[in-house]
Amino acid sequence: MLLHIVCIQTYTYTSYYTRIYHHLGKFFRRCRDGYKLHRYDNGEEEDEDVFPNLVEFDLNRPNPLTLRALKHVSCTINESIASSISGDLCDGLILAADALHRRTNNKKYKRKIVMITDAEHEVEVNGEQLQCVLDGLNKMDVELIVLGIGFEENIMSSVPPIQADNVESSGGNTNEDDNNRKMPAAMTFNDTSMDIDEDDNGAAEKPEAVVSMNDNNNEQGEKQPPEPVVSMEENDNGELVKEEGNPDDMKLNQDWRQPNALFPGSNPELVTAFLHGDEQSKVFSHFNDPNHASNWANKYFGGSNGRGHGDGSGYSATAVASQNDEGRHIVTVTKTEDACIKPACNDIDSLIIKRENEKLLVSIARETGGCILAANGVNLTELLQSKLPVKAGTKKSAARKVEFRLAPGMTMEVKNGKLTDKFNIPTTKKEAYQIHPETGEKLRDGTGELMTLPTRTDTRHYDSDDNEVPIDKRTDAYRKVRLSIVLLYESVCSV
Amino acid sequence: MNKEAVVFIVDANLTMNLPYPPQPSSSKDGGAGESNSSTRLSQAKDAVLTSIIDLMWRSKTHEAGVVVLKAGVTHHHLSEIERITDDVDVGKRIPLYLMFFMYH
């Protein structure tokens, strides 16, 4: 009976550990004092691959094979399957951090992660994982450098830093841990089972800005409405206030240009120029009387009682006739969005995704002490070299153009070059030529090189009577003379 | 000198196939026959290759790794193939617990 129970218990524990063996997420299992992440412990994702659609070239001393393989990296996905492809930048960051941890943990290394991305794909962010990775990165002193293609200039200064004290709690408990652990400023929690109110020693603070990303569990092709966004904005008093809303409701910068506008009425040059331009509204005052203004507004902007709307001939605007303070009759024309240049819906989505990803990367870079390098047309290699150490072999002064930031939003292009360097002057080596006693020519050896002899310096001292002072009397000689009449002779021995 | 370990993350998303530097809108319609083969991905690869070569040149002890995002295949140290052989520490615990129940 006892043996039977032992067998059952053995089977139970063996199967339990086999399950853990298969499910245990391995990344950074030792980075938080033994705290382990059980990402795959719900049993449903048993067959799911860990971080799919990521390819890694092992962290090692680079060799030509790696370089050759990297040269052949190309985009293999097409539009039809693009939405179903995983392997976003967050997964890549976790994988890179884990690779660094595996390879360089407890070793003396200078660690960096360089990410080159346009951030135009949806990112599934698991807050707990990301926080764990951030802790690990900070622990290992890993600097994250993001080379963002098409990123906003000076985005590091435009996104406000995290100020956890100002975050107001909504819907969850905000722990105030001694460790003052912060979530990155932008992340989302797609795992409903995950509680922000964490374990005893790992209390995490609430995120300040939540990036809404589609859940990976959504059905393919079904577009889920984005999650509400909670972001921190600075009010007039300089305090951070929380703003919530749907990303779809967030207006992008509207382009008010109406390039196809053709205005048939009076003053066509000014009105057409206004309609083609980026101004939203403009006041026109070329009217003689109120009827003229009202008729002009009605006729060309199609409304009644001085209120009109564009007739659709390439422009769309409303017009209001009125009288200003000076008594002049004016018509205020305000463009409407119908005829304006509008980005396509997909473009809007990608812009929102990109903007939120930028915020996320800024937050991570700020947490790790890294930086964002915005690439808008500049050569990526040169941009990356401006941050990474200078190229090998350029120890001498070689002026390079760099962007010198005087203040946020104020930059100037300067040349950066090394002007001075430590230089050790070699000591002069004195040698005596051997001269032929008869011809007086310098002697040369069989190989044609000049024949030289080493030299030595001999110093002699004389007193006032021109008597040479021996070495053991030199001190007395100086005392007697009391003048620094010392004749110094250097003789170079020559043959 | 400290050794350096740099991991490059290269995005291979579909949008990385767009030309870089971005062409002005006027030249798109121009059809002047200029084929700009430089894309975001090619520029990114060039930047990474240059950095890795420079890293190699500065010291042979420096190390570099590359992670490619949005790839068509999966191959990394956390993937399924390596999962079997990687959890050695977990696997070692099973005999200890077996021994525990054997003795009780």
What's the confidence (pLDDT) of residue A435?
87
Least confident of A143-157, A300-314, A382-396: A300-314
Chain A hits for B14, CB-CB cut-off 8 Å, are: 75, 77-79, 82
Residues A77-94, mean pLDDT to the nearest whole number: 82
To which residue do tokens 């002899």 refer? A453
Query: A132-169: b or e for each residue (b if 16 or more CB lie within 10 Å)?
Result: bbbbbbeebebbbbbbbbbbbeebbeebbebebeebee
Q: Both tokens of residue A40?
A: 């795959």
Find chain B residues with C-beta within 8 A of A379's C-beta: 43
| 8 Å CB contact between A282 and A294 | no
- Predicted ipTM of the assembly: 0.75
Residue B45 binned pLDDT confidence (cut-offs 50, 70, 90): very high
Strand partners, A242: A232
The predicted pLDDT at position A171 comes to 36
Q: Do B6 and A71 touch (CB under 8 A)?
A: no
Q: Which residues contact A91 (CB under 8 A, 6 or more apart)?
A: A51, A54, A124, B69
State residue A399's pLDDT score: 67
Q: Which residues of B touch A55 (CB under 8 A)?
A: 67-68, 71, 73-76
Return d(Cα A76, Cα A85) in angstroms, integer: 11
A59 within 8 A of A112, measured Cβ to Cβ: no
A27 pLDDT above the threshold of 70:
no
Q: Which residue has the higher pLDDT, A37 or A412?
A: A412
pLDDT of residue A10: 39
Give the confidence band of A255 by pLDDT, cuts at 50, 70, 90: low
Q: Given this model, what pLDDT does residue A397 score?
A: 56
Model confidence pLDDT, tens digit, residues A106-127: 888 999 999 999 988 888 888 8
Q: Rounded to an integer, what distance in angstroms lies between the CA atom of residue A134 and that of residue A97?
A: 9
Is A302 within 8 Å of chain B by CB? no
* Shortest Cα–Cα distance, A58 to chain B (Å): 5
Residue B62 has pLDDT above 80, yes or no: yes
Smallest Cβ distance to B71: which of A21, A55, A114?
A55
- Rounded to an integer, what distance in angstroms lies between the CA atom of residue A252 and that of residue A250? 6
**Over 70: is that where the pLDDT of A150 sits?**
yes
Model confidence at A303, pLDDT cuts 50, 70, 90, reads low
As a three-state string, the secondary structure of chain A is CHHHHHHHHHHHHHHHHHHHHHHCCCCCCCCCCCCCCCCCCCCCCCCCCCCCCCEEEEEECCCHHHHHHHHCCCCCCCHHHHCCCCCCHHHHHHHHHHHHHHHHCCCCEEEEEEEEECCCCCCCCEHHHHHHHHHHHHHCCEEEEEEEECCCCCHHHHCCCCCHHHCCCCCCCCCCCCCCCCCCCECCECCCCCCCCCCCCCCCCCCCECCCCCCCCCCCCCCCCCCCEEEEEECCCCCEEEEEECHHHCCCCCCCCCCCCCCCCCCHHHHHHHHHCCCCEEEECCCCCHHHHHHHHHHHHCCECCEEECCCCCCCEEEEEEECCCCCEEEEEEECHHHCCCCCHHHHHHHHHHHHHHHHHHHHHHHCCCEEEEECCCCHHHHHHHHCCCCCCCCCCCCEEEEEEEECCEEEEEEECCCCCCCCCCCCCCEEECECCCCCCECECCCCCECEEECCCCCCEECCCCCEECHHHHHHHHHHHCCCCCCCCCCCCCC
- With CB atoms and an 8 Å threshold, state whether A118 touches B55: no
Instruction: Enter the pTM of the model.
Output: 0.49
Q: What is the pLDDT of residue A436?
A: 87
* Residue contact B74–A104, C-beta within 8 A: no
Would you call B23 an interface residue with chain A, using a CB distance cutoff of 8 Å? Answer: no
pLDDT score, position A327: 81
Average pLDDT of A418-437?
A: 78
Using CA atoms, how far apart are residues B59 and A219, in angstroms rounded to an integer? 49
Asked if B74 and A55 count as a contact pair (C-beta separation under 8 A), the reply is: yes
In this prediction, residue A160 has a pLDDT band, given cuts at 50, 70 and 90, of low
pLDDT at A411 over 80: yes
Buried b (16+ CB within 10 A) or exposed e, A282-294: bebeebeeeeebb
> In a 10 Å sphere around its CB, with 0-12 CB exposed, 13-18 middle and 19+ buried, how is residue A267 labelled?
middle
Q: Do A88 and B90 touch (CB under 8 A)?
A: no
Residues 40-79 of B with CB under 8 A from A: 40-41, 43-58, 60-79
Whether A88 sits inside 8 A of B69 (CB atoms) is: yes
The residue ranking higher by pLDDT, A316 or B55, is: B55
Please give the residue of chain A at the shortest CA–CA distance from B64.
A59
- pLDDT greater at residue A339 or residue A139: A139
Specify the pLDDT at position A458: 79
Q: What is the mean pLDDT of chain A?
A: 67
Query: pLDDT tier at A24 (50, 70, 90 boundaries)?
Result: very low
Report the helix count and the strand count for chain B, using DSSP H and E. 5, 2
d(Cα A376, Cα A368) in Å, to the nearest integer? 24
Does A167 or A287 have the greater pLDDT score? A287
Distance CA A444, CA A449 (A): 5
